[in-house]
Structure 1
């Protein structure tokens, strides 16, 4: 069925934004085949903007273009997930250390608000939990005051969003929340090295949970 398709600027940009949002929202889970003709018909556009959108998404790491087979939503390997989270641990550890030295009051208040929201959301509100968790981590990077570090961190957003397809229900788990609070309290107290260690430990703990979930998912599904 043809979808209502809003064109924000150009058809090319609209196709890209629509497909990107659909992938990150889980409408097209990892491994989903992305047929140009079917997508073009659904969006009410020609195949050219769809093809260009998929090439752009491939550059971001959200789509794989397989010779003679076409495109599919990228399926990350455990090794790739481990690499992403190790880089993220480095970024967030340094961000927490710098944030503890600066302690910007308005950002610390917003970080606390994000954690309070996570505590009040119902268990089934995975989308809202993911958003609040992401806001907490983004605020930590902003609190560092290092814009280059913040930009590097956000360069992982697309791949992290893809990984979250497997783990949306883990963002507000009791252990994750306890670790979030440990990071915030260390930052708030100006304990720079403690904050860095807490942030790294949180990311690496979450990495292990992601890897277990991913291994289970890969056992249940088969992608060629």
Structure 2
């Protein structure tokens, strides 16, 4: 076997291993959020490997990635356990995201946002407008809303031109339940779902207009206020009467 063939074989093996690790990561995340692996439970690496039908190497890689995401915690004697979160932890994470997004919006207004990113943000909001013209959103439309909502918030982070802020926003948004769409699914089963989405969309447009008008303080205040919707959704998920519980909500310890 020549060196070129060896290199190709090695690359194929590495790609296959990476693919197995990603599949293991996705399945493990589903198991945690669905409650198949309860909060506080220790992860049995061998049992998970057998259950998923993959070797321990991709499972070990998946466990490390889920720890980085914040869904798992490493144990002092080795191994991992499913994390639980206090209601205050989640609320603080949402508050921190709102603060960072407010700062990003203010800097974008004060420094002047890149026109190409502004155009992309406006195009994204127009797509959301099209979805919200319907009197009600079915599951497909709601999934598209979540996608466009996440895209707009990512573009908003890019508007500031600050790599530092963008990195910190990405980090906080990767925390469980802290992303811009982390609790928006709660609204899907609410009688006032479309009304709440319309309010959020109006805030999207207002903050973009404030950035273009170079109104930094107003842009910042709008994004801070925008995060209050997520706080409201958190309370509804934990203390409301949802017939379809939010995935992973069982990991949050409610305030007494």
With the shorter chain as reference, the TM-score category is 0.7 to 0.9
Of 158, 178, 200, the match for 2:174: 158
**1:174 aligns to what?**
198
Output aligned runs, 1:57-96, within 5 Å.
57-64=66-73, 74-96=83-105
Change (3 A) 1:96 1:30: farther
Deviations, residues 1-52 of structure 1 (Å, cap 9, x unaligned) = xxxxx976262x434422444466x565253316544542454321243134
- 1:31 to 2:32 alignment: no
Contact 1:96 1:187 in 2 (8 A): yes
CA–CA distance in structure 1, aligned partners of residues 117 and 124 of structure 2: 11
Give CA deviations for 1:150-181 in whole Å, capped at 9, x if unaligned.
01110123225676565325497122111111
2:165 counterpart (127, 140, 149) = 149
Which protein is bigger by CA-based radius of gyration?
Answer: 2
**Cα pair 1:31 1:74 within 8 Å, conserved:** no
| Residue 202 of structure 1: aligned partner | 226
What are structure 1's unaligned runs of at least 5 residues? 1-5
> Any gaps of 5 or more consecutive residues in structure 2?
1-11, 38-42, 132-136, 189-193
SS at match of 1:100: helix
Change (3 A) 1:59 1:82: same
RMSD of aligned C-alpha atoms?
A: 3.4
> In structure 1, what is the equivalent of residue 15 of structure 2?
9
d(CA) in 1 for partners of 2:172, 2:225: 19
Within 5 A, what are the aligned runs for 1:110-121?
A: 110-121=120-131
- SS of the residue aligned with 2:85? coil
Q: Report which stretch shifted further, 164-173 or 71-80.
A: 164-173
Matched residues in 2 for 1:192 and 1:222: separation? 37
Partners in 1 of 2:174 and 2:44 — Cα distance?
21
Greater displacement, 136-145 / 119-128: 119-128
- Contact 1:167 1:210 survives alignment (8 Å): no
Corresponding residue SS for 1:214: helix
Aligned residue pairs total 215
Q: What is the TM-score when the length of structure 1 is the normalising length?
A: 0.77
TM-score by length of 2: 0.69
Q: Contact 1:31–1:72 at 8 Å: present in 2 too?
A: no
